[in-house]
Amino acid sequence: MGSLLAISTALLLCFFFQVQGQNRHKEGTSTGNKGCDLFRGSWVLDDSYPLYETAECPFIEKEFDCQNNGRPDRLYLKYRWQPSGCNLPRFNGEDLLRRLRGKSLLFVGDSLSLNQWQSLTCMLHTAVPQAKYASVRTGDLSTFTFPRYDVKVMFSRNAFLVDIVSQSIGRVLKLDSIQAGKFWKGIDVLIFDSWHWWLHVGRKQPWDFIQDRNHTYKDMDRLVAYEKGLKTWAKWVDGNVDSTKTRVFFQGVSPDHSNGTLWGEPEAMFCKGQVRPVRGSVYPGGPHPAELVLERVLRAMSTPVYLLNITTLSQLRKDAHPSVYGHGGHRDMDCSHWCLAGVPDTWNELLYAALIQK
């Protein structure tokens, strides 16, 4: 009898510690925590989502506002990312603003970076709807400010991170030079991204030549060029960022969904009409080739860079692109960007988890 009691007490204690552990997880753990990779998991339905309605976010760009552009289904708004080994902390915008008091956060990258910046500004504004904000755009720099908290959330459009320079021969993509770096100094949190533009050809390709050190090429393997450009960026960060003052993130490669073969629906017309994520935690199409390049470059750096490893979790969301409900409504087929509310909100929940963990 006594030993039974001892066993059940032990079991109770065990249970108690487990619950404690779970609560601690809720307060923010990350890849550093043994057994918990925040980026490995699956999408589950959660009726408390989305985190905001776009009607509450007056400055949202039309191209991301799928519901207003006529998207008829809403199920895609109801998914929450559930890591396999622990829970993500619930996003608390006011807490984040308090922690960032006096600080600046800068997204540098292409329109996927814009997508994430816009998501974060909506998440923060809807968390403190009474707090005044200002949104100013000068050239390629958008600055969103919360004066009460003295916080700046900025976005600098920069598709390649390395330079494009106009020369007598034409526009040259310089794989070994970074002029924009001077604008990245003194920022507290930097979040970079780059990939999609490396693939563009024809009219959408904004350069005529690629220059790598002393050699100029008409074109080269785009993954090779991507790796060379990223290495130049990595060298800049290693040489210029003081990691005791600045936290550096890289938004992992954001996948698009234009080929249904990769998710087991070869007859799919791009991402059109997709209303559900891929089930489970494995994307049938496997890892993204650019993701492997990015991971290789980050591994070789001396500065700690936190990879927001969003590729797989986003690959599972074939349902979350604007498709025909993007820019200007029923015009193009957009299977690259993401509807807001939506997947970039999860990227920001992961960013929040990383920022509050210390």
Active site residue ranges:
111, 334, 337
84 scored as a contact of ligand NAG (CB under 6 A): no
Among 77, 189, 248, 262, binds ligand NAG (CB under 6 A): 262
Among 82, 126, 216, 259, binds ligand NAG (CB under 6 A): 259
Contacts of 284 (CB under 8 A, 6+ apart): 262, 263, 264, 278
Which residue lies nearer to ligand NAG by CB, 291 or 334?
Answer: 291
Question: Is the previous residue joined to 341 through a cis bond, with omega within 30 degrees of 0?
Answer: yes
Contacts of 82 (CB under 8 A, 6+ apart): 41, 42, 43, 44, 88
347 scored as a contact of ligand NAG (CB under 6 A): no
Torsion from C-alpha of 155, 236, 219, 289, nearest 10 degrees: -70
Question: Could you tell me how many residues make up the chain?
Answer: 358
Closest separation between CB of residue 300 and ligand NAG, Å?
12
Token couple for 129? 């709807």
40 scored as a contact of ligand NAG (CB under 6 A): yes
* CA angle, 59 then 334 then 70, to 5°: 60
Among 97, 178, 297, 307, binds ligand NAG (CB under 6 A): 307
314 scored as a contact of ligand NAG (CB under 6 A): no
Which residue lies nearer to ligand NAG by CB, 147 or 264?
Answer: 264
How many chain residues touch ligand NAG (CB under 6 A)? 10
Query: Between the CA of residue 332 and those of 113, 173, 276, what are the distances in Å?
Result: 20, 28, 21
* Site track 215-254 with ligand NAG (rule: CB under 6 A), x = hit: ----------------------------------------
Maximum separation of any 2 CA atoms in the chain, in Å: 92
Where does this chain bind ligand NAG (CB under 6 A)? 39-40, 214, 259, 261-262, 295, 307, 309, 312
